[in-house]
Chain A
């Protein structure tokens, strides 16, 4: 194929582009683009045209713009970067629409220079996990890393730029990330913010420039602390500081203050006092990059919200302790809580205050202890009013906890993706994923208590008995293994034989013992049930009956299993209906939910497979099986049909297999033989010719699969 490839002429390319870009009824002119492409060699032509085709499959205008810039792009970037450029444009198109995507295509040069910076720079996305781990390990509050235009912290989140490329290598840029993150941690940890708050500096800047000066002086103090607490990090910091892109030496007037601030025993209050005295006198130093910038408003808002929240949390915790201790006498007088400082002022991380109850020290649960530590970090002490337990209804649990949006309520208002999990989808024309494409929600099936399960059990009475028996036979049981080389007891038969052999002058066997052997079943199975509109009528009945019988059978076996129904209505509304979770016992609730399975909309399968694979992987079972009950091809309202749907489903199944989940499909679609082997492989599906066979077969297939 490649050997036979010749460079195409301009008219040939023009015809090809016209076809790809469907120019017939548009004003697009492909002649220029074709003429430019014609100057390329065959291989490059093929590469570019392939990408034009892939982009055009997403959007024709986008494809046209790529075609127009093809040669310019080849001049500006290597091939791999062109691929990223096209993929980025398609991602932006998926997420934000055509206009921003066109900006990506037009911003070719900007993209190229950003990519070059990326090549030597460190990207937050890639090192976020490590930074998060480092911060978590350093303790104090659980600080979160987030992307922002500049480096700062609001005392709960640490904001870092998407990309750091100030330094020549990736390792150095990562080091800059780390030092910046740890420096911001130190700002929250060593009392600078609580000093600012106490002095009212956060309330509004009475003296302009005070906060900025404090920020730099405090930075010097923190450098001193880091040199003692984290000497390794301090070495890295000084190394970075030698690079003028990161830091410059402060002017000479700073020098005496610098050495004084770096000594041990300087408090944040001292720094603040110094800043007040020197305001207007000390200036002219661009602080190092890792110092970050102060953000008064963000800091104030975050601290006030936290102080309020933790006051509530702490008092509610005391109320809980109170009600626990009082037990039988809930109406007594409120308990008297007190406090007492412990130890010398040492590690501010450990709460230095002991909570007393009637003058006896009280052991707090760890999360309350953490809250107490955080309160002291903010306020330097525990105010007396914190020590009265919250009264009933004083803090509303609803207001306390973050409101969660889930399920159906999302749809009552305007559409948004909050509370949904986003899953990618494979676009076979693009030969790439569409990122965060499907908005998936787990929703409970509305239970219907109509005795459906009981009727089914009566209807299939004989079969149920048979199923139970055959499944019980599979259950792990202790088996006595005979003729073992080691074991708990002597195998008399073997011994007699061995002695006889010995008398005959033959060699005596050493397999003379019996041993109990337990073969453990360690299986988790997820059942993924088609709830699309096409199952309406007897398919739905058969599915429900099959599930009832299956549950009966599985209960006697003891395998872990979950049942979820799936349905979709475009990628924005992908729904998995919980019928039974892995950790939920089988009972009336599950039966009522099985009975409540109703046909819904369409059959998008990719997201359901991806989500259930994830759930399966959260179980610690050795064997994980994903069984799909379906009645047809993957299909959804928004282009999820034909090859697209099948290819995405196939991709999701490949991902599942890679995650060591065994997929299997049971279908009643007679045409399924055409596409199922492509999806599940030659042996991992069953096509049932009759709907009525479903209830009988599903359990049977499961038994065969797992024995």
Chain B
């Protein structure tokens, strides 16, 4: 089967993604969007930040461009660059420029991972100027009203070197995300809805996730995220035994330490 190629302007999410709101984050995002304010999403891995962005893009009916940042991501990777084609140089827009031109939502995932020079292009877009300077073309692209910049960052495991600078973070409206709290089975509901698993089993999985989150700092770097729970739930829903599903989708994903693995596996064996 051939994969479908979609042009950016047409990339609009048409089916409603499943998103379970845990607070007033939707209202805040909509208000920020209406007021042309950029948004910062904080929270641990796999707690639903990216899903929230997809949901908001669907809700606001704007194309969503997600860039996963890594240590080698430079400003030109975002803005664009010249390529040589048949003896001539041709300018190619980067994802950020494309999002600005199309009036879409640009979501920079794990932005602290990117190189420092990316801030040069993010700052003028993130304050009231809302322009994107393209140094190599010598132009400024003014963002239309529909454009929205949002970034995410995980305060949990960044090193000191990779902290978000005050000058950056103070430009954004911040939304905090966490694993759905101990409230009445919210997380179990999400897991059940995402995987099609029955409620009771989903609740057990959430209980198991709670145990691994207790181990955070006591041998695990991070507890099981909601995403991992959904993975395990999907495996269980297609007939894998719960203990094997937890071992494969959760325990092995969390750690390589044999002792910790044994402990996590014993916990799941106790629960199911």
A-side interface residues toward B, CB under 8 Å? 129-134, 136-139, 142, 178, 182, 230-233, 236, 347, 350, 487-490, 495, 498-499, 502, 512, 516
Contact = CB atoms under 8 A, between A and B. Distances in A.
Nearest to A516: B74
Contact of A232 (B182, B260, B270): B270
A495 B82 CA distance: 12
A578 B243 CA distance: 49
Contacts of A502: 87
Shortest Cβ-Cβ A-B pairs, 9 listed: A133-B263, A233-B270, A137-B211, A488-B76, A129-B259, A130-B262, A230-B270, A139-B214, A232-B270
A178 B269 CA distance: 11
Contacts of A489: 76, 81-82, 136
Contacts, number: 80
B271 A232 contact: yes
Interface in B192-250: 210-212, 214-215, 218-219, 243
Contact of A182 (B75, B218, B270): B270
A182 B269 CA distance: 13
A142 B216 CA distance: 12
A137 B87 contact: no
A488 B74 CA distance: 8
Contact of A231 (B87, B219, B264, B271): B271
Contact of A490 (B84, B262, B270): B84
Given A182-B270, A499-B87, A132 B210 contact: no
B182 A137 contact: no
B214 A232 contact: no
A512 B85 CA distance: 11
A495 B88 CA distance: 10
A347 B182 contact: yes
B35 interface: no
A232 B269 contact: yes
Interface in B48-81: 74-76, 81
Chain A CB within 10 A, most for which of B84, B136, B263, B266: B266
Q: In the complex, which of the residues A129, A132, A347, A495 has the most CB atoms of chain B within 10 Å of its own CB atom?
A: A129
Nearest to B79: A488
A516 B263 CA distance: 46
A137 B264 CA distance: 8
A133 B223 CA distance: 13
Given A136-B215, A489-B136, 17 more contacts: A130-B263, A130-B266, A133-B259, A134-B270, A137-B211, A137-B267, A138-B214, A139-B211, A139-B214, A178-B266, A178-B270, A232-B268, A232-B272, A488-B74, A488-B81, A495-B84, A516-B74
A131 B136 CA distance: 61
Contacts of A231: 271-272
B14 interface: no
Nearest to A126: B259
B139 interface: no
A130 B182 CA distance: 26
A252 B268 CA distance: 35
Nearest to A226: B270
A495 B83 CA distance: 11
Nearest to B181: A350
A131 B266 CA distance: 9
Contact of A137 (B76, B136, B212, B272): B212
Nearest to A510: B84
B145 to A, nearest CB: 31
Contacts of A136: 214-215, 218-219, 263
Given A136-B218, A137-B212, A138-B211, A129 B272 contact: no
B69 to A, nearest CB: 16
24 contacts: A130-B263, A133-B215, A133-B259, A133-B266, A133-B267, A134-B263, A136-B215, A136-B218, A137-B211, A137-B214, A137-B267, A138-B214, A139-B214, A182-B270, A231-B271, A232-B243, A233-B269, A347-B182, A488-B74, A489-B76, A490-B82, A490-B84, A490-B89, A495-B89
B182 A350 contact: yes
Contacts of A516: 74
B129 to A, nearest CB: 24
A139 B271 contact: no
A488 B262 CA distance: 47
Nearest to A487: B81
A236 B269 CA distance: 9
A138 B267 contact: yes
A232 B208 CA distance: 12
A231 B266 CA distance: 12
B194 to A, nearest CB: 24
A512 B263 contact: no
Contacts of B263: 129-134, 136-137
Contacts of B214: 136-139
A139 B210 contact: yes
A165 B84 CA distance: 75
A133 B182 contact: no
Nearest to B208: A137
Instruction: Give the residue among B74, B219, B263 with the most A Cβ atoms within 10 A.
Output: B263
Nearest to A492: B89
B271 A512 contact: no
Nearest to A128: B259
A236 B267 CA distance: 13
A299 B262 CA distance: 30
Contacts of B212: 137
Contact of B260 (A133, A347, A350, A495): A133
Given A232-B272, A350-B182, A137 B82 contact: no
B250 to A, nearest CB: 12
B125 to A, nearest CB: 19
A365 to B, nearest CB: 15
Contacts of B267: 133-134, 137-138
